A and B are shown apart, each in its own frame.
Chain A
Amino acid sequence: MSVRQPTPVPDPIGSYGAKIDGRERISGAALFVADLKLPRMVHAKFVRSTRAHARIVRIHLDAALAIPGVVGHCVGEELPRRYGVIPVAQDETALAVGKVRYIGEPVVCIAALDPETAHRACEAVRVEYEDIEAILTIEAALDPARPTIHEYARKPSNILRRVHQNYGNVDAGFAEAAVVLEENFDYPGSTHVALESHAALARVEPDGKLTLWSSTQNPHYVHRDVARVLGLRDQDVRLIKPAVGAGYGGKCDPFCSDICASHLARKLGRPVRIVLEREEVFLAHRGRHPTRMWLKMGFSAEGRITAVDFKAWADGGAYASYGVVTSYYLGVFMPLPYQLENYRFESHRLYTNKPPCGPKRGHGAIQPRFALEVLLDRAAGRLGLDPAAMRRDNCVEANSETCNGLRVTSVGIQACIDAVVQASGYTERRGKLGPGRGLGIATSAYMCGALHPIYQNEMPHSTVQIKIDRSGEVVVYSGTADVGQGSNHMLAGLVAHRLGLHPADIRVLEGDTSLTPVDLGSYSSRVTFMAGNAALLAVNPLRERIVAAVAEKLGCDPAEVSFGRPGHADRGDGPRVGTDTSDVSWVDAVWLAEEKSGPLVNAGGYTPPKIGSRFRRQSVGPSPAYSFTAQVAEVVVDEETGMVAVERIWVAHDCGRVLNLAVVEGQIEGCVYMGVGEALCEEQRYLPGGLIRAPSILEYKLPTVHESPEVTVFAIESHDPEGPLGAKEAGEGPQLSTVPAIANAIFDASGVWLHQPPFTPERVLRALDARARGGPP
């Protein structure tokens, strides 16, 4: 029998190690809100508006409340306080108060002993409406003669926000250009389709305090808004985020389910659970803003971008959600990843009588990136330049500042371009694949969290607390919301890395406002950067205290002490702490440290650096770091049917440093698949009266496995100086360049430019017909 050779604990950083919570997800053991049951729990459902824009005249509830099994209800007047995550645009109520603003808006909430009875009761409610002219298009929203959807602003209008910014001298930039191109683009609305629908379960505790379990990306903001609407102190509300089946931005807001479950639980004195039906998830929406765009770009003969002028009108639906932020994101990221000196944009975020749009993966930046990358390829064609080389020549450099004052630190964009160009054979193969097959390239950049918090404060954006118990257990407490993206594993990996442990030995408790310190939430790609840094700030002093205690015990220099050391041949594996000549077990090291310096508990808070900007108004957009992506798509266009097949995508993403390769690759692949959906088939459409056309995952077309290309991922490491161990985001940015890469590949395949995703067969055929008639491509 051979003696097992003890090995050092492998460093999890950069490895392909399995996620610590992967097994509970794939085995079905993870508990989602819909799995939670409490004694005496009742189920609530919503009566929803059948009108796009109407005053509520009367609500007839008698027939519904007479149904056996119905236990209670609530209407909008009981919850009149308006809420919303963005302080300057709090315009929502959980149930319509006085008037309805879109078909499907919740009007009444009814609780019953079972969901079927609640559903039947909702059908028995009759609501009398008095119609108001509905605003359903961008033109109507811009027309000051039309009725306004909201009255709360000082000067009511259907323009929630107009942003206008101007950098350098755009007119001079166009004057010096060798080629000037301009084009109109229409980017469609789409929705997230997270596998788990929104859900909430509320209970009033014996002491009168409220506990709310919610399927949310943002426990902190939901916590604040639920307390605000219910008139409770924040400290009397506990929000727990159980396992969440993804969000993609769709669970960043507080929802009617959160507020009505909480209110009814207090009103009825029994737990209330609300699980939205799939149709209702399409109505809760907060998806991509349908955006009309006009873009004009100037280029020198060598392909340098001399000026960019951009206008956007975003059709935002009936409520603000994150729309104020959207209006900025539509413009502020345009000066990355290319060097721009002369840039101006004007964006509008509009109200219309449709389900509210909000943040969807790549929030606000997806639409302009599509326009810019397509126009860039057209310019390359006009100038006779290789599109990849032209992009490479325009790239920003590390440690620079953009024309709109974004501080840029690490930059891996050129390495990204090189990786996908080489892997795909772009330079040699483009234009030579014969009719119907083509290659296209696009690049992009995205943020790693916002420099400035959503509500004004100087506190840390993320706090992580770590407790190391004398049992040897390490517990990480974080207010983050792992919604499947892997933030729990990220935290465990960083802490395990510092303490020489396996990630699976780290217990992560997260997303519980009473148990865990505040993290602002899973949005704007902020969690790895901010919570990751907070975790390092929390663990590093604990590590130093263990080093000091072990060095004292072993009589060695603290600098010689290392972690994750192998065990001894006769006693199996480590981890052990010490030097090459003597060491102690991990548990002994913890004992020594606690004996020497007291409880091993520490918290770290991450606050973004104060970065001065030349532009005082630039408060939305700046980030502590930016990620970069390049991708090449290979497509086949069936010129008889107009059907486009995306066969392969090569994608390289500068994520700063890979903390876990499986998670990074998974996030990048997820971005690409979501981008393929937006390119080929996804669109949230409405009938002319404002009724959503396809509120089902049968008719809202997501790509199946057949439509999903083979994806080759390259993780590029630029080692950001401020990221946790150098890491940046990987879960959002890679989606930005997928749609334009596919559009550019369609041009290579069939010689037509498409300016309106999704590239459906009829749109492709229409473009091919126009080309056949001799029109412009």
Chain B
Amino acid sequence: MLPLPRFSWEAPDRLPDLVRLAAEPGARLVAGGTDLLPSMKHRIFRPGTLVSTRRVPELRTLRVGADHSLSLGAALSLRELARHAEVRTHFPSLALALGSVATPTIQGMATLGGNLMLDTRCMYYNQPSGWRAALGGCLKCEGTLCHVAPRGAGCYAAHSADTVPVLMLLGATAVFATPNGELPIAVGELYPEDGREGPRCPPGAVLVRVEVPAPQRAVAFRKLRQRAAIDYGLLLTAVAPTPEGWEAVISAVAPQPIRVAAPTREALADAVHKAVQPLPTHQQASTWRKRMLRVEVARALASLPA
């Protein structure tokens, strides 16, 4: 087994302490650790201190509004959220997305906040340190060349958080705690254009909760993957009607989820196919993933009421 690098451990039980400790040099937040710890074993990250979010009550609170709006603590596990009656009844697409992450055992450990703040992924990046050394590193880590697009302008590591496309179409907001008070950011605004950066967390801020407004429209979600469990998505597709027509959010194809709109149901698949270009960030052929864009959008639409 790959040994973890050495680190020290903090597990505060008050939110101000969490915000303070997270801002210290060399510190990194850990929630479920299901993605962070493998990356640490790969020596992608070598934090001096891990600061656990799990004992802070504000991050473990789930509130349901009279209008069925949700306030979901960032440290709640994917499993408890996916099984929650309100989520299942009023946000079935979110329940589906939560339940599509990895495996049931990992869902029991992994958290909503961890999923939102998931680092971008790439087959040249999520590898053990010895492998990356043989490759000479990449633009995102230890190197100067992007192996996905050597002549490209930046890093194309893919946004891979299963819950985000659905949360974007549900109009969800991520609420951060900072030393100067709360800072809300729309979920769709969290992800920068360049894959090197990972999710945007304002300096000194900690994601406390995700607010989902009252359900307004049906959202459909699909996760394309080679196996029906364990795998990260090859395409993440969420679709929903809008007042002007239809829209889709596609992810696992670029550092940012891509939002595409079309005037009609029929035009949406073509619009997505035109707007989205999967790159060889994954082990599976990007030509096939490109072709599957139309299929996934069509199947997502078909799962919605006409």
Binding site for B on A (CB under 8 A): 48-51, 103-104, 114-116, 119-120, 123, 197, 275, 277-279, 640-642, 681, 685, 687, 691-696, 698-699, 701, 703-707, 760-762, 765
Q: Are A116 and B3 neighbours in the complex by a CB distance under 8 Å?
A: yes
A704→B102 CA distance, assembly (Å): 12
Is the CB of B277 closer than 8 A to any CB of chain A?
Answer: no
From A279, A694, A762, contact of B285 by CB (8 A): A762
Q: Are A50 and B134 neighbours in the complex by a CB distance under 8 Å?
A: yes
**Interface-side segment among B49-57, B158-166, B222-230:** B222-230
Q: Are B292 and A641 neighbours in the complex by a CB distance under 8 Å?
A: yes
Closest chain B residue, CB of each to CB of A687? B135
Q: Which of A115, A685, A699, A703 has the most CB atoms of chain B within a 10 A radius of its CB?
A: A699
Q: Are B227 and A706 neighbours in the complex by a CB distance under 8 Å?
A: yes
Known: A765-B288, A765-B291. A279 touches B130 (CB 8 A): yes
- Closest Cβ of chain B to A89, distance in Å, is 27
Is the CB of B89 closer than 8 A to any CB of chain A?
Answer: no
Q: Are A706 and B226 neighbours in the complex by a CB distance under 8 Å?
A: no
Known: A116-B6, A695-B131, A699-B123. A704 touches B291 (CB 8 A): no
Known: A116-B3, A701-B226. A50 touches B133 (CB 8 A): yes
Q: Are A640 and B295 neighbours in the complex by a CB distance under 8 Å?
A: yes
How many of chain B's residues have a CB under 8 angstroms from any CB in A?
A: 31
A699→B231 CA distance, assembly (Å): 8
From B135, B227, B229, B287, contact of A691 by CB (8 A): B135
- Closest Cβ of chain B to A531, distance in Å, is 33
From B1, B135, B288, contact of A278 by CB (8 A): B1
Interface residues of B in 249-295 (CB under 8 A from A): 283-285, 287-288, 291-292, 295
Q: Are B3 and A119 neighbours in the complex by a CB distance under 8 Å?
A: yes
Q: Are A641 and B295 neighbours in the complex by a CB distance under 8 Å?
A: yes
Q: Are A701 and B227 neighbours in the complex by a CB distance under 8 Å?
A: yes
B135 proximity list for chain A (CB < 8 A):
687, 691
Known: A278-B1, A640-B295, A693-B283. A704 touches B131 (CB 8 A): no
Q: Are B287 and A277 neighbours in the complex by a CB distance under 8 Å?
A: no
Q: Are A704 and B3 neighbours in the complex by a CB distance under 8 Å?
A: no
- Closest Cβ of chain B to A127, distance in Å, is 10
- Closest Cβ of chain A to B294, distance in Å, is 9
Q: Are A279 and B288 neighbours in the complex by a CB distance under 8 Å?
A: no
Q: Are A704 and B228 neighbours in the complex by a CB distance under 8 Å?
A: yes
Q: Are B283 and A123 neighbours in the complex by a CB distance under 8 Å?
A: no
Q: Are A761 and B227 neighbours in the complex by a CB distance under 8 Å?
A: no
From B1, B128, B134, contact of A103 by CB (8 A): B134
Q: Are A698 and B134 neighbours in the complex by a CB distance under 8 Å?
A: no
- Closest Cβ of chain A to B205, distance in Å, is 30
Q: Are B4 and A116 neighbours in the complex by a CB distance under 8 Å?
A: yes
A123 proximity list for chain B (CB < 8 A):
43, 129
Interface residues of B in 192-217 (CB under 8 A from A): none
A696 proximity list for chain B (CB < 8 A):
127
Q: Are B227 and A279 neighbours in the complex by a CB distance under 8 Å?
A: no
Q: Which of B3, B129, B230 has the most CB atoms of chain A within a 10 A radius of its CB?
A: B3
Q: Are A699 and B134 neighbours in the complex by a CB distance under 8 Å?
A: no
Is the CB of B5 closer than 8 A to any CB of chain A?
Answer: yes
Known: A50-B133, A278-B1, A642-B288. A695 touches B228 (CB 8 A): no
A475→B6 CA distance, assembly (Å): 47
Instruction: Give the 8 A-B residue pairs with the shortest CB-CB distance, closest first.
Output: A706-B228, A762-B288, A50-B134, A116-B3, A115-B3, A762-B285, A704-B229, A279-B128
